[in-house]
Amino acid sequence: MAIKVDKDQKRKDIAAACTELLLEKGLKNLTITEIAKTAGIGKGTVYDYFANKEEIVFEIIRNFIAEHHQNLLSQNDKQTSTKQKIIYLFDFFLSETNPYEKHLDFYREYLSITLSSKCNPMVEFNRECSEFVRNILEDIIEEGIDKGEIKEISRNLIDGIIKAERGFMLVAWADGQDLKQAFREYISTLFDLIEIKK
């Protein structure tokens, strides 16, 4: 009797095994041979689950996002304010302890490749990731409106908040500045405008 393999789980397992390798090597220097060795499988097996190196990278990023989302959920409770939830959502950029430093280095490289190559699968994957973050932010905003913390017009800020965070991040990298405090002040200013004062 053949052993049935959960293909989605196997993809996740291969990606999880290669996360540190990706963070150390970067996208350009990562090879299928190293991926196979690190995951403890043959090169042919890698291709049974992924068409190319980029698909593995996408799976690793999906794992990053899922892990970050779980951390976000674990930090939130009924007492957590809408403003604090948004700050937690963007902890990837805002963290003062730099747990994501290697992730940010990789993300810089990934964006650089995406912007210079105009690779359609990367563009599509970026849309998928943006949609995921947008859905989380929508949920946070809707919950804040339902709890009477923020005004209904706050819905109109969802795309702008996401784009602002990305913009702050890119400017910080391009200019070599630490713009975390500036982004926090931006969020605080928004909340000065949308919070329902009690």
The pLDDT tens digits along the chain (198 residues) read: 455 667 888 888 999 999 899 988 888 898 999 999 999 999 999 999 999 888 998 998 888 888 888 888 888 887 899 999 999 888 877 776 666 778 878 888 888 888 887 778 888 888 898 999 999 999 999 999 999 999 999 999 999 999 999 999 889 888 888 888 999 999 999 999 999 987
Q: What share of the chain is helix, strand, coil (3-state, %, to 5)?
A: 75, 0, 20
136 in Cβ contact with 85 (< 8 Å): no
What is the count of structural domains for the chain?
Answer: 1
Q: Write down the pLDDT at residue 100.
A: 72
Specify if 41 maps to a domain: no
Q: Write down the pLDDT at residue 97.
A: 65
Specify if 65 maps to a domain: no
Q: Write down the pLDDT at residue 85.
A: 92
60 in Cβ contact with 53 (< 8 Å): no
The whole domain housing 159 covers 76-194
Specify if 173 maps to a domain: yes
Specify if 33 maps to a domain: no
Distance CA 23, CA 106 (A): 6
Q: Write down the pLDDT at residue 98.
A: 65
Specify if 15 maps to a domain: no
Specify if 18 maps to a domain: no
Distance CA 161, CA 89 (A): 11
